[in-house]
Amino acid sequence: MVEIKTPDGEQAIALWYAEAGVVDLRPAKAEAGPGQALVRMLWSGLSRGTERLVFTGRVPASEHERMRAPLQEGSFPFPVKYGYCAVGLVEAAAEAPELVGRSVFCLHPHQTRFAAPISMLTPLPDALPPRRAVLAANMETALNALWDSGAGPGDRIVVVGAGLVGLLVAYLAAGLPGADVTVVDLDASRQPLAESFGAGFATPGDFGSPGDADVVFHASAAAAGLGVALGAAALEARVVELSWYGEGDVPAPLGGAFHSRRLTLVSSQVGQVAPTRRPRWSYGRRLAKALELLGDARLEALITEDVAFADLPQALPRLLAPGASGLATVVGYGGSGGG
């Protein structure tokens, strides 16, 4: 591990996406002003799908504003300080002294220490280990998708794509009473995880697209996966598209029985609370629920790699490469805190 020394006069070090395929570590300010708290980072999570698009410069120009992380600096395509899965320890909060010493989740980029509005800090449940809490943003995405799907007790549910979000959707769906959940993925090594969550598993070759699912989720980010998802859907079923492709055209296999089955293909995106919950659920309430849902120790298995913050510039090309192995990567800040 490379040791980071915080430059004299600076409070922190931050990761920046400098140009396509290039990241670097830069000094950063971390001074809490009115209404803010000072937070020392403990862990952050790498959001592979989104950060791969940022890393490669493939955020579409039309989405530059909508894709901004809440506490992002810089502008797309480059340079940009990006990220939104931060867990840290509150060191100072003049207007909220009860938070000092508490572990919190915040939508902040990768940085050793940072200042953030107190309103953006969500205390972790006492039983939730801080390292696992970096999955909160992904759990929010999965929860929102389940709401968007309309899935209910007893439904046949298929999840195509056993990445991090797909497996979290399967975990939530398997908790519906009487639900029959199947995860479909090319990687048969994901089968034990799916089964540990109460779901079945199949590879596309074994699955056979039976066309009897009440609800289907697609999270493989591949046109072939979308084809499997559409083939799995029963008459007038809903297919929820969770994949985020970035720039470029994506073939959508809308031939065959798509029209005769009267299928509904809908997008789900975490930037808005699902319409069925929006009148009653704020972003804060949804995030608090996502953190609560992460209390299940079985979800620890979704974290498959730890990397030191100081090593990120060298590790990111491998971690964000297409087809990279593993699921969730967490970034550790032990021994690298600024100041």
273 occurs within a structural domain: no
**Is the pTM above the cut of 0.85?**
yes
For residue 33, give its domain range.
12-127+295-332
Establish if 36 belongs to a structural domain: yes
* Position 40 in a domain: yes
Strand pairing category for 103-106 and 86-92: antiparallel
Specify the pLDDT at position 1: 42
Residue 272 belongs to a domain = no
Tell how many helices (H) and how many strands (E) occur in the chain: 8, 17
Q: Which of 177, 277, 157 is nearest to 217 (CA)?
A: 157
In the predicted structure, residue 21 carries a pLDDT above the cut 80: yes
Q: pLDDT digits over 71-90, tens only? A: 999 999 999 999 999 999 99
The residue-averaged pLDDT of 230-244 equals 96
Percent of the chain, pLDDT > 70?
96
In the predicted model, is pLDDT for residue 304 greater than 90? yes
Residue 148 shares a structural domain with residue 167:
yes
Indicate the residue type of 115: A
Give strand pairing partners of 228: none
Choose one of 220, 251, 267: the last residue of a domain. 267
**Would 119 be classed as within a structural domain?**
yes
Give the max Cα distance, the chain: 67
- pLDDT classification of 334: cutoffs 50, 70, 90: confident
In this predicted model, what pLDDT tens digit does every residue of 207-234 receive, in sequence order?
988 899 999 999 999 999 999 999 999 9
268-296 tens-digit pLDDT: 999 999 999 999 999 999 999 999 999 99
- Same-domain pairing of 33 and 52: yes
